[in-house]
Structure 1
Amino acid sequence: MIFSACSKDKDKPSGGNHKVVFKAVGSAGTSISTVVYVDGGGENVTKTDLSGSTWESGELTFSSSVQAISFGVQATGPNASATMKVQIFVDGVMKKESSGTGTILVPSATYYF
């Protein structure tokens, strides 16, 4: 007798590492002053004295043991209709997005693996 089993659950984690990229994209005239995120080693990273309406982290490697990652931005907009969105990309796919509108912009996002 031969028995075999096969799992069809494609949502199970692969057990490998994840490649993560954080991105912030603002409308024209917005100015990013600070970004905060958790790096692959579990450390909080704060970058200040930034400028411009976009920012992107390099590719970060997260262990499969990490359960959640977070990313936030502080920016100013030129008027009440200014927008800023933050995005979390995992293994090349956008998994989480959040946005804010106004002259004070502080969108943040958390992704749970």
Structure 2
Amino acid sequence: MKKMWLNNRLKRAVIAMTATVLLGFISSCSNDDDDNNDGGGSGTSHKVIFKAQVSPGSTITGAVYGYDAINTEANGLSGTSWTSPEFTAPAGAVMVNGGVVGTGANANATVKVQVYIDGQLKKEGTGSGTSLSGQVSYSF
């Protein structure tokens, strides 16, 4: 039962991130000060790493990360921190997305998700509560 619940949470996270990608693509004509969004994707490839951390006593249980609509799931995680393998977002990629789910130790538990592009921290997302969920996206 717990595994089914976790899989459902991870599926919802994938759906939410896919929706974020689509909305980001649709609104790519607008300019966000935090992102280098020129509406056409990146002209070069980029090295990408996602990192996540939860507050003490909490646990990361799953993650999803990738670029555009290409996502990778990491299931069966445990611990208070997680780092994705480094991957390359190819030239022409519009956006990268990453998110984690987990169990908070209490209502004040927190999760922080960061995206590093070519070795530099570009953006951070947070969440809180006993049912932790955090995500971050970055548009090229």
Q: TM-score range by the shorter chain?
A: 0.7 to 0.9
Match status 1:16 vs 2:47:
no
Indicate the structure (1 or 2) with the bigger Cα radius of gyration.
1
- Specify the alignment match of 1:105 in structure 2: 132
Contact 2:52 2:113 in 1 (8 A): yes
TM-score of the pair, normalised by structure 2? 0.67
- Specify the alignment match of 1:76 in structure 2: 103
Please tell me the residue identity of whatever aligns with 1:25: Q
Deviation at 1:31, TM superposition (A): 0.6
Deviation at 1:42, TM superposition (A): 5.2
Which among 60, 63, 73 is matched to residue 87 of structure 2?
A: 60
Deviation at 1:64, TM superposition (A): 1.9
CA RMSD of aligned residues (A): 2.0
TM-score of the pair, normalised by structure 1? 0.81
- Specify the alignment match of 1:87 in structure 2: 114
Between the aligned partners of 1:111 and 1:93, the Cα distance in structure 2 is: 12
Greater than 3 Å deviation, 4+ residue runs: 11-15
Deviation at 1:19, TM superposition (A): 0.6
Please tell me the residue identity of whatever aligns with 2:58: T
| Higher share of residues assigned helix | 2
Which among 75, 81, 88 is matched to residue 48 of structure 1?
A: 75
Between the aligned partners of 2:139 and 2:108, the Cα distance in structure 1 is: 30
Between the aligned partners of 1:20 and 1:44, the Cα distance in structure 2 is: 13
Length, aligned pairs only: 102
Gaps of 5+ in 1: 1-10
SS at match of 2:99: strand
- Specify the alignment match of 1:7 in structure 2: none
Contact 2:42 2:92 in 1 (8 A): no
Between the aligned partners of 1:67 and 1:99, the Cα distance in structure 2 is: 22
| Higher share of residues assigned strand | 1
Match status 1:25 vs 2:46:
no
